[in-house]
Structure 1
């Protein structure tokens, strides 16, 4: 999708800015520097910079010219007018801005800097491109339900194509936080609760955004966030403290970050939370020892929005100056929005509180990534108003949004084969999400517009015609509607089947949207109970950004689809599944508990010394009084329109040698009358180890297409390295012994099971 058209840069710049750039000493230095990641010109440029200019290169602020959603999400604060921010940029007080108003804004700012600034250092333009730019794709956790990392790479590539076309060099994504507490609203931004899935999607998204060449005009720098363990916030409360053993941090939470950095991400973002008493923005063990020394990360670390300043309220810094000192010494290269670096770094250096070498190191990193992005070669390489328009919401990208949407849908239940629906049935769509241009794109969308998205009613009508569809709200999201239930019951009675469109709105998921009860709100539950009493077949169409605890008529409905927030093509994607154009193939990337009180919950928990055995409840065992120590719908669960069975597990050789390989396989058969795709999952359990191990761990999976009546032999290869864990010394180890092995359709399903021994 690389746009090879040459932009009319001179016309966009104006002759003055273009001439200034062509003659600038910085450009001359870069042209002499060759193609290394950190050219010699960077140090030459550093030598010419004042302390104030260096501090400016480490200061990133929200764009003053933004408007709409961008301003609501990230208010520009002190730089409240564009002229003032433009003057700051020309004066060298800013390295760039984020969430700005597209190519027009970027062109004006970059032209002013390249014409009027002393050093002609290009600005960098960043944005929250989380699950799409103008074309919106499913929220990230929904995309993870596809169990197709390649799909995530393709949607990231498409998002980069659009966003880079709008002048954006840098996205603050992927978010790779493991989320094991569904009360946490930012669950929707990640890949769920599993480490392997988190690693694979982290790497895929980085590769998609950055492409093969960071200098390409359809590539943008990825930012792995939030470093680290933000998803482990106590009680699922956003911004809350994190208290973890180093073992859990390294085994569970850190691996997806490392996967993203290993995939080539050149930036990371510090997390809001503290870890074991130390805020991440002031944690040299995390940012220097682990990230730099152990992982050899060469890129930049940017603070999160005022994250350095927030160390004051946390009781870790006494004032803004102290917070700036702590953050820069800990390894935060760039301050976001607080202005603390611009305000205090020069004085801190002059006073000897911060070595100049520390500041120079961070500035060198920032200039290096600007070089890698090609900004010194051409500051306007991504800024082209015509390209911005031509790349927006193309047919190809909208088709990809629809593909991603239907692959994200998870069918939890389908009793009596209610689904797929026949196209000649009268359908009553009932619920607050039945129709309307709202709550379609999902949380944290800066540039997309719900007005351009396809709602459920439109998607269904496109299949069965308007005459066979009725639409009734029935209730609001969190409040009843006068006469709403009565109208919904009448609509249900007049229909052959009910689509109950209920769940969460966009404001109930995402940042700062923690919930104490992860259930469907009470007014919608009252609606569901009333509709269920009509006796009509009910298909629950859930809208959600997290795992939910399903209750009552929603839990008991014959068919349940998890449809998340699917983006631009929501209604069409859901209709594809409802009417059988596409057989649902999504799988849960997180567990749906029986009750909210089970959170935090994850499938790969430990056994404990008093496990509840199969069968009747026994006293003094590890079990809640009202729920089992299990999920209502576990990680990996999802049904298809096929009838899939597992048989014929084979292991060869019977034992795994220390330096050998174990080939394991099973036959997966679709005995149904419809084609389907099955996500075949391989789990293991280390029965006895010097550190207790989880009841199951996902080690591999494969998605296979099965025609009606078809069988496929699905094979995996296991090695000793895949069985490793962190030993008593926190170093990777593995011990001889017996392992359980399952090839199964979910983390709680038996599938086919055997054991094998690892031997020296």
Structure 2
């Protein structure tokens, strides 16, 4: 390869640059002004945001005609929670606490994407998220590093199977955004991140590492700074830690335009310096900025950049292409006929339906739910008949293919039983309000379908005010004044401030953005044809002023002694509680679960040994249901301060009415290790609390000691 061919192999562009393109795909940011020549395009190594098999085949064929060495393109896309069959957003899938389900959704997304010509997905996002103002919390699975890691592994297994070359219709996964992007200051996208290395290692890094341990093929750099240096040009982060310490030898790709963004960050004076810093940091693919093609050749020829850095980057890309089999089969699984049969297949739609059922979280119920099928229902609000249920990053999903809540409820109870009236999420006219109130007056029960337009979430969808937008709180109050039983369904991509919602509603179901079959699944839950089983993986704040608020926080030297009897000069707010409104792990059911007394098999644990915690769970209700039993641990005193509780395991238990099951957890010394001040990862002998319960707040607590080895 010539030096020009090597350099351009590191460039990724959108489809609009290529012969054969018919769609710009799912992309963000400006296309104009890159200064890319036709020769650059013909030598590029990858393309992102394709529109289907026909386009993928056409672009690849044209590229191979013009590429001197017949090196095929890698084709990538944001297949985040489905390709054409759209599943609930990742935050919702996290609320299922179902790793097998997450793996199946990723496998289906991979199958559809592969048939459409995609080789790599920019998923999963393993960023730890503690700030619901950040729009991209919908793309994460929550605020716990261990659980995020478990889901990241599951997604990677689903996308890649036993290996991208070993099974049909598998694609390569790309973990993102490395590193700590979820901690952007102020919950504002693309913003500064500043934290200690200890904090990163202990809480923000483990989920990325879990995905890499599962064999994830690619890593994407974050937009933010790490230790004052943009991640894309951060040699210590990428070369020393990711490649050196962790041994990652796969492909490292920048996020959209992030290489050139080192200039506005103030970390590079011009494109030339951006190119040098990115290649020295180990970035193999520059996505949608022209620093490499404009300057990398001259940097090598001047001796400022060792050509071996370029060769290493090219080799990693070529190895991935070879692993995917592109040299032998450049179109891979792209096939318009197969695509038509695979996309939105009955099997895939059934999985989307199941995922939506398991992702919804019942947050309150005073007996209004489930609805009686004979009841006259007023279904009102911005999401009553809205098809905006797919959520951000819904890839090739189409709103017209989504089942609305109105469609779902009428399919169960009949059209005559459900009166529908709607409005906009941000705009509600007086006439629309009057029509909704008229519908409510003549109903037995009112179902308010509320939430955020999907554009209010996702990338660049950050909000300082996380209450329901527009006049929706007014709508709740006006309906409440009618004295009707009131159930609220929320469609949103983040935890919200629920004041004026949780206190006014008789029942509240969090549906998130539930995907292509969302309306049908939510209707089944409302009518009791299915039983809610979701549990929150992000705390819902009492107020935006608490944010970030999360369950695994540290104590202080002056902890609050009593929320009910505040004492001055303790760590607390004067006007709101310290605790979130709804805690991590929380969720209700139509079943009623009761816990027996938890028992430990021993009060001490030796390294190499284990102890068992057992607890009986009984379904005391009249409905079959599924409980998620959660195990937490607290290290009483450590080398560094330890959280008040940390999730270590969970079990999902299905129980018939009146049935009791014993749930058993094994606790080992390995579960008690943590990052010390010197960044070593080990446990300390001493006292521990172990807790079990239905969520992070309502737990039984026992004690044991870890003995010295």
TM-score (norm 1): 0.91
What are the ranges of 5 or more consecutive residues in structure 1 without an aligned counterpart? 1-48
Q: 1:71: Cα distance to partner?
A: 5.7
- In structure 2, the residue matched to 1:409 is 360
- In structure 1, the residue matched to 2:209 is 258
Q: Deviations over 1:131-163 (max 9, x none)?
A: 111100000110000001111110000000000
Selected match of 1:281 from 232, 235, 242: 232
What are the ranges of 5 or more consecutive residues in structure 2 without an aligned counterpart? none
Mapping 1:180-579, distance limit 5 Å: 180-215=130-165, 216-415=167-366, 417-437=367-387, 439-473=388-422, 475-579=423-527
- Structure 1 residues 754 and 461: alpha-carbon distance in aligned structure 2, compared to 1, 3 A threshold: same
Alignment partners' CA distance in 1, 2:480 and 2:35: 52
Does the CA contact (< 8 Å) of 2:634 and 2:646 recur in 1?
Answer: yes
- In structure 2, the residue matched to 1:109 is 59
Q: 1:484: Cα distance to partner?
A: 2.3
- In structure 2, the residue matched to 1:12 is none
Residue 639 (structure 2) pairs with residue 690 (structure 1): yes
- In structure 1, the residue matched to 2:607 is 658
Does the CA contact (< 8 Å) of 1:591 and 1:634 recur in 2?
Answer: yes
Q: Deviations over 1:587-623 (max 9, x none)?
A: 0010001111110111011111111223322222211
Secondary structure of 2:75's counterpart equals strand
Does the CA contact (< 8 Å) of 2:23 and 2:50 recur in 1?
Answer: no
Alignment partners' CA distance in 2, 1:653 and 1:742: 15
Alignment partners' CA distance in 1, 2:174 and 2:242: 14
Alignment partners' CA distance in 1, 2:478 and 2:289: 51
Could you list the structure 1 runs, at least 4 aligned residues long, displaced by more than 6 angstroms after superposition: 65-69
Selected match of 1:628 from 566, 577, 587: 577
Selected match of 1:638 from 562, 583, 587: 587
Alignment partners' CA distance in 2, 1:72 and 1:311: 21
Q: 1:551: Cα distance to partner?
A: 1.0
Which has the higher mean CA deviation after the structures are superposed, 706-715 or 643-652? 643-652
Does the CA contact (< 8 Å) of 2:491 and 2:512 recur in 1?
Answer: yes
Alignment partners' CA distance in 1, 2:69 and 2:685: 62
For the aligned residues, what is the CA RMSD? 1.6
Does the CA contact (< 8 Å) of 1:217 and 1:381 recur in 2?
Answer: no
Alignment partners' CA distance in 1, 2:332 and 2:127: 32
Does the CA contact (< 8 Å) of 2:71 and 2:327 recur in 1?
Answer: yes
Secondary structure of 2:108's counterpart equals helix
Mapping 1:159-178, distance limit 5 Å: 159-178=109-128
Q: 1:722: Cα distance to partner?
A: 0.6
Does the CA contact (< 8 Å) of 1:61 and 1:76 recur in 2?
Answer: no
Does the CA contact (< 8 Å) of 2:198 and 2:677 recur in 1?
Answer: no
Does the CA contact (< 8 Å) of 1:180 and 1:600 recur in 2?
Answer: yes
Does the CA contact (< 8 Å) of 2:82 and 2:395 recur in 1?
Answer: no
Alignment partners' CA distance in 2, 1:190 and 1:149: 14
Q: 1:517: Cα distance to partner?
A: 1.5
Selected match of 1:152 from 96, 102, 108: 102
Does the CA contact (< 8 Å) of 2:23 and 2:51 recur in 1?
Answer: no
Alignment partners' CA distance in 1, 2:585 and 2:112: 32
Alignment partners' CA distance in 2, 1:162 and 1:61: 22
Alignment partners' CA distance in 2, 1:679 and 1:360: 50
Which has the higher mean CA deviation after the structures are superposed, 396-405 or 284-293? 284-293
Alignment partners' CA distance in 2, 1:524 and 1:338: 42
Does the CA contact (< 8 Å) of 1:655 and 1:757 recur in 2?
Answer: yes
Q: 1:339: Cα distance to partner?
A: 1.9
Alignment partners' CA distance in 1, 2:71 and 2:191: 38
Residue 25 (structure 2) pairs with residue 70 (structure 1): yes
Q: 1:476: Cα distance to partner?
A: 2.3
Secondary structure of 2:529's counterpart equals coil
Mapping 1:742-757, distance limit 5 Å: 742-750=691-699, 752-757=700-705
Alignment partners' CA distance in 2, 1:74 and 1:525: 34
Q: 1:632: Cα distance to partner?
A: 0.9
Q: 1:212: Cα distance to partner?
A: 2.0
- Structure 1 residues 74 and 394: alpha-carbon distance in aligned structure 2, compared to 1, 3 A threshold: farther
Secondary structure of 2:205's counterpart equals helix
Alignment partners' CA distance in 2, 1:449 and 1:80: 34
Secondary structure of 1:70's counterpart equals coil
Aligned length: 703
Selected match of 1:597 from 527, 545, 551: 545
Does the CA contact (< 8 Å) of 2:21 and 2:59 recur in 1?
Answer: no
- In structure 2, the residue matched to 1:60 is 12
Q: 1:117: Cα distance to partner?
A: 2.1
TM-score (norm 2): 0.97
Residue 124 (structure 2) pairs with residue 124 (structure 1): no
Alignment partners' CA distance in 1, 2:425 and 2:22: 27
Q: Deviations over 1:674-695 (max 9, x none)?
A: 0000000001111122211111
Q: Deviations over 1:722-756 (max 9, x none)?
A: 11111121101211111111111111112x22111
Q: 1:227: Cα distance to partner?
A: 0.4
Q: 1:80: Cα distance to partner?
A: 11
Q: Deviations over 1:698-737 (max 9, x none)?
A: 0000111010001110000111111111112110121111
Secondary structure of 2:252's counterpart equals strand
- Structure 1 residues 211 and 634: alpha-carbon distance in aligned structure 2, compared to 1, 3 A threshold: same
